[in-house]
Amino acid sequence: MNVTNIMLVNRTKQNKRATIEDISSITLPELSKYFDVPIAEASRHLNVGQTVLKRKCREFGIPRWPHRKIKSLDTLIQDLQVVVEERRGQDESAAAAEKQRLLEMEKQSIKKDPVMDLQSETKRFRQDIFKRRYRLKALGQQSTEEAAMGDDLLYFVRSVNPTTAAKREDA
């Protein structure tokens, strides 16, 4: 076996690169299936390199891969789910469930249009939770997840909820 044949054998053992046809056949709906995973994992599933995937995203007008945005919304939704389960049948539970529903709708709209920015209410809500977790961590509490979901969070959920906020303004 000569050197050329050895190189050909080694190349066939490696993963083949995606062809131009494979790359051009990637559509936005196909990409949107992978928005909730990191770009490296999405590129493996699509059998293309990260750079190729990023270029394809730019063609569709997607400046940044939306994985982290969607993951952040998932975390907020899970946190609210804990509150809803703990406070069944109370007004706080209804407010948290409503906020959870709004976050789910926002997540779906981001999957449809990844260029869309998070709503200002969602950004404030997320930042408030981050601040609470940081303060609790600084105080040395072990159960930051549970403590962050306390009464202060429920107050914030009620204040962000548009129907509840409108009632308070009328009073």
Residue 154: pLDDT band with limits 50, 70, 90? low
pLDDT digits (tens, 9 = 90+) for 85-124: 877 777 777 888 889 999 999 999 999 999 999 999 999 9
CA dist 28 and 112 (Å) reads: 9
Q: Are residues 139 and 163 in the same domain?
A: yes
- 118 and 44, same domain (yes or no): no
- Convert the pLDDT of each residue in 19-59 to its tens digit: 787 788 888 999 999 999 999 999 999 989 999 999 999 99
CB burial of 144-161 (b: ≥16 within 10 Å; e: otherwise) equals beebbbeeebbebbbebb
Residue 5 lies in a domain: no
Q: Are residues 130 and 96 in the same domain?
A: yes
What sign for the dihedral angle of Cα 99, 42, 63, 57? negative
- Residue 165: per-residue pLDDT: 47
Residue indicated by tokens 């993951």: 71
The mean per-residue pLDDT over the stretch 64-76 comes to: 94
**Is the same domain home to 50 and 123?**
no
Q: What is the pTM of this model?
A: 0.68
